[in-house]
Structure 1
Amino acid sequence: MSEATLPDEGLTAKLPAPEGSEAPDSRRLRGNLGVASIVFMVVAAAAPLGVIGGVVPLGLAAGNGAGFPATFIVATVILLLFSAGFTAMTPHVEEAGAFFSYVRQSLGLPVGIGIAFVAVVSYVALEAGVYGLLGPAGASVVELFGGPALPWWLFAAAAFAVTTYLGYRNIELSSRVLAVLLTAEIAIVAILDLVIVVRGGDHGLSSGIVSPDAIFSGSLGIGLLFAIISYVGFEATAIFRDEARTPERTIPRATYFSLLLIGIFYAITSWALISGWGDEQAVAQATDNGGTFLGDTASRYIGVFGADVITVLYFTSLFACILAFHNVASRYIFALARKDVLPASLSRPHAEHGSPHRASLWISGVVAVSVLLAVVFGLDPAAQFYTWFAGTTTVGIVVLLIATSVAVLTFFARDLRGNSQWRVRIAPALGLVGLLGSLVLILTNLSDLVGGSGVLAAVVIGVLVGAFAIGIVVGRKVSS
């Protein structure tokens, strides 16, 4: 005799299920996540310290210089417009699966499965690729404290083991770990921002964030491209639907709050870092010493100790990013298995933890093979392994956002379902225009994102197109 679990205001009742049948919730994840817990996981996926230390110098050097902070405001507006329709559709999507579920609901199962395959490739690629940054960062931490120079893959292996363990357990354990790490990294950067502002910067606070001349200087397109990249992960709020309290309220609130927190943090911090050097000197510093730009600024304003703390937290920020994307990718696999696209065994939650433990182990296996191949073939962990995989994710995520925007507009085309024209038609349409423009920018500059190789850029596009096509074929077989 099996037991069926019935949700009722957080209480669990156990009733006998009919003989030979499967309990209704036997393929459903369990959790009690609130807005704050989901926000921690989503913001951790965006790796704010990694963005400040890595993407911001690139935006300053190759983008629009002192006007770069304004691109975060533009990116936030585009994604808020997208989120208006995305969250309006949430009450009408009763399964956890994020983009896959939204697209399937509106555009049909085959297209939904195609998008799900693109999502899995995108998230797994980033999770694997970030190990290429985490390994060297871990080596730097050891050397900082006088330890020996160790190979990057040792730190990748250690982080992999912890990620696999946490992914196997209940999602609330991961949430608590991410909360601690994220709070620490935001706190140290906030202290740096405050010190720079209080001291008035190098010679006055930068006005580039509000100056049209600065905003439209250099390459605004490249600046916007780097800004959009920095938000990867915010869209994952809906994947935790089954593990969220009252998802109809929790998911929209977590989405908006995550976007605003990320956008405000990036805009203020990049503006403060520019102020710390002066407009022209900041661009020169980012161009000549991009890899140490954040650390050099920290040493200048909060001393060597502060810079050392940032070095350590940069490592933990990358780990938090890996853990967050691991949880997202595992839940995509779980959702696909629930639709019988993948083996049903992958959609059996852990009896005690309620986690997608088998799907999590499957993702760990794919990531382990990817990292192992990078080591065997001697790829540079950052310049090659990370860059190639991050390029794949960048294109894939923007494609997912575009497909979801089309799904939202299609879903509400004939019936507003009680929403305003602005929320489900105008705002999503404007967001779609912004996302299409971003995709054009990304594809135009994709070869630069993957190390200057046109061949690799073509491979990235080919992999994503192939994933979508395979998903379409599989979806048609499942639905027939």
Structure 2
Amino acid sequence: MSTTPTTPSATTGPRRLEGHLGTGSIVFMVIAAAAPLTVVGGNVPLAVAGGNGVGAPVGFLLAAAVLLVFSVGFVTLTPHVREAGAFFSYVATGLGSRAGLGAAFTALVAYTAIQVGVYGYAGWAVNDLVLHFGGPALPWWLYSFAVLAVVAVLGYRHIELSAKVLGVALVLEIAVVVLLDAVVLGGGGRDGLVTSTFAVENVVTPHIGVAVLFALTGFIGFEATAVFRDEARDPERTIPRATYLAVLVIGGFYAVSCWALITGVGAADAVAVAGRTLAGEGNFLLDTTEEYLGTVLRDVVQVLLVTSLFACVLSFHNVLARYQFSLAGKGVLPRALAHRHPRHAAPSTASVVQTVTAVVVLAVLAGLGLDPLVGVFGSMAGVATVGMVLLLLTTSVAVLAFFARHRSTPRRGRFSTVVAPVLAILGLLASLWLVLSNFTLVTGGTVLVSTLLALVPAVVFAAGVGAGGRFRLTAADDDERVHPPR
């Protein structure tokens, strides 16, 4: 494929999306995809009980540090990637169409997996909420399909409507957790601030990998800042700002909230309380909220957990639709998916196809009688986590390769084009090892089932690399077609 740093046609083609999203709106979309309240209520107990105990908050900080270093190379390459498509576009720019299509297919599978997983989680959460307020017990999948229907309507319309919906839900869920954090940490919890969280002996333990693993799972979707570049007000400034801000806000929020929950119950009881949560005998987040903020706010948090999951799955839906839109514009997927709605200026056809895909996969999983949390969410989150780390690794390699070919690129220091990508690769390799060595904790399945699930992203990536040999991206094409090489 062409290695030209800029591709004007990629931004002027007739199928380009439009919008005026600022840094704040894009950060809202990305943080909503991270589902902060969901992570605090679900991933934190897993990290504390199965990981390094009171040292778990540092696991979130380590994950954020790795992703922050990765972001340096990611945003440095941004001005040279003249199209939306995130990992697909970045990897294709640095490594060619074969690796680019491998990344695109991997991203489609990873996002589809986590989206379906969250639908399962949302069905369970809504049912739990209904039961809490005395309603009837219904199959979880009924609620999942109801959530899916609302997401389908919003995903079909203009992106700014989704941004507003996500923004409202996000502000509310973050506000209540920040209030809990402030009350607990400000009051010193049961036994004073747990400063032992940062002690070396509590951080460096054989199980720190579990904390890092669940921290990484909580960051899935953060790179979506680049997916919205065509709809950003000023992409070359907005995308870097949104990327750094998203990583810092997400990482800081997770770490502080994890520390607050540990402080709230005390260092001596934190692991036991988290363990009871996993056993279904309590709820780390909700019980701590009730103790420090009262019953009313506990109920509010339980409601916001549902809105958090909704915001999360809506964000993933939007990202998936734009991946399909971008690939269809290149002829990799059917051209009909590159249709832009004349009124909403949204990839509405791709959105409909993604809705149908989710309905089919969810129906199959529900028909198999799987548990919504372990069977649906756990296994799908496992596939998505492996896929995400693989995509981050490939993107970092692409950054190195691109700037190795374009050493004369102005105003780009050696740190951002060489040192940071190398550090990111090393950190991500270590993270991948931690994910795979603790994979059964995410999927909840046997070693055999977990191994098969872990192989899915790698197999899909290889298939994309193989298919990439059939295409050659040419910068001269006005409609962004991908033509077979002569």
Alignment TM class, shorter chain as reference: over 0.9
Q: Which residue of 1 aligns with 2:442?
A: 449
Q: Which residue of 2 aligns with 1:403?
A: 394
Specify which of 154, 169, 181 is matched with residue 193 of structure 1: 181
Q: Which residue of 1 aligns with 2:475?
A: none
Q: Deviations over 1:130-153 (max 9, x none)?
A: 111100111122222222112211
Give the alignment's TM-score, normalised by structure 2: 0.92
Shift of 1:24: 5.1
CA distance, structure 1, for counterparts of residue 60 and residue 451 of structure 2: 28
Query: Which blocks of at least 5 consecutive residues in structure 2 are unaligned?
Result: 1-10, 473-484
Shift of 1:117: 0.1
Shift of 1:218: 5.1
Moved more, 455-464 or 325-334: 455-464
Moved more, 256-265 or 135-144: 135-144
Q: State whether structure 2 residue 372 is matched by structure 1 residue 384.
A: no
Q: Which residue of 2 aligns with 1:202?
A: 190
Q: Which residue of 1 aligns with 2:86?
A: 98
CA distance, structure 1, for counterparts of residue 310 and residue 316 of structure 2: 10
CA distance, structure 2, for counterparts of residue 125 and residue 277 of structure 1: 34
For the 8 Å contact 1:111–1:472, the answer to whether it is kept is yes
Q: How is 1:337-348 mapped onto 2 (pairs within 5 angstroms)?
A: 337-348=328-339
Q: Which residue of 1 aligns with 2:113?
A: 125
Q: State whether structure 2 residue 433 is matched by structure 1 residue 433.
A: no
Moved more, 101-110 or 452-461: 452-461
RMSD: 1.4
Q: State whether structure 2 residue 351 is matched by structure 1 residue 357.
A: no
Q: Which residue of 2 aligns with 1:42?
A: 30
Q: State whether structure 2 residue 37 is matched by structure 1 residue 62.
A: no
For the 8 Å contact 1:167–1:360, the answer to whether it is kept is yes
Q: Which residue of 2 aligns with 1:237?
A: 225
Q: Deviations over 1:116-139 (max 9, x none)?
A: 000000001100111111001111
Specify which of 220, 244, 255 is matched with residue 267 of structure 1: 255
CA distance, structure 2, for counterparts of residue 163 and residue 416 of structure 1: 46
Q: Which residue of 1 aligns with 2:272?
A: 284
Query: Which blocks of at least 5 consecutive residues in structure 1 are unaligned?
Result: 1-22
CA distance, structure 2, for counterparts of residue 356 and residue 116 of structure 1: 17
Q: How is 1:284-363 mapped onto 2 (pairs within 5 angstroms)?
A: 284-290=272-278, 292-363=283-354
CA distance, structure 2, for counterparts of residue 372 and residue 419 of structure 1: 49
For the 8 Å contact 1:334–1:347, the answer to whether it is kept is yes
Shift of 1:471: 1.4
CA distance, structure 1, for counterparts of residue 451 and residue 408 of structure 2: 40
Q: Which residue of 2 aligns with 1:5?
A: none
Q: Which residue of 2 aligns with 1:9?
A: none
Shift of 1:65: 0.7
Q: State whether structure 2 residue 77 is matched by structure 1 residue 86.
A: no
Specify which of 424, 442, 466 is matched with residue 473 of structure 1: 466
CA distance, structure 2, for counterparts of residue 34 and residue 294 of structure 1: 32
CA distance, structure 2, for counterparts of residue 213 and residue 439 of structure 1: 23
Shift of 1:390: 0.8
Give the alignment's TM-score, normalised by structure 1: 0.93
Q: Which residue of 2 aligns with 1:212?
A: 200
Helix, strand or coil: the match of 1:156?
helix
Distance 1:400 1:461, change over 3 A: same
For the 8 Å contact 1:114–1:467, the answer to whether it is kept is yes
CA distance, structure 2, for counterparts of residue 38 and residue 32 of structure 1: 10
For the 8 Å contact 1:65–1:217, the answer to whether it is kept is no
CA distance, structure 2, for counterparts of residue 436 and residue 218 of structure 1: 18
Shift of 1:215: 1.2
CA distance, structure 2, for counterparts of residue 173 and residue 403 of structure 1: 33
Amino acid paired to 1:458: T
Helix, strand or coil: the match of 1:355?
coil
Q: Which residue of 2 aligns with 1:170?
A: 158
CA distance, structure 1, for counterparts of residue 150 and residue 433 of structure 2: 38
Amino acid paired to 1:353: H
CA distance, structure 2, for counterparts of residue 442 and residue 406 of structure 1: 20
Helix, strand or coil: the match of 2:294?
helix
For the 8 Å contact 2:209–2:438, the answer to whether it is kept is no
Helix, strand or coil: the match of 1:27?
coil
Shift of 1:228: 1.7
CA distance, structure 1, for counterparts of residue 126 and residue 42 of structure 2: 16
Q: Deviations over 1:50-82 (max 9, x none)?
A: 100000001101111111111121111111110
For the 8 Å contact 2:67–2:247, the answer to whether it is kept is yes
Distance 1:303 1:359, change over 3 A: same
Distance 1:416 1:435, change over 3 A: farther
Count of residues paired in the alignment: 458
Q: Which residue of 1 aligns with 2:61?
A: 73
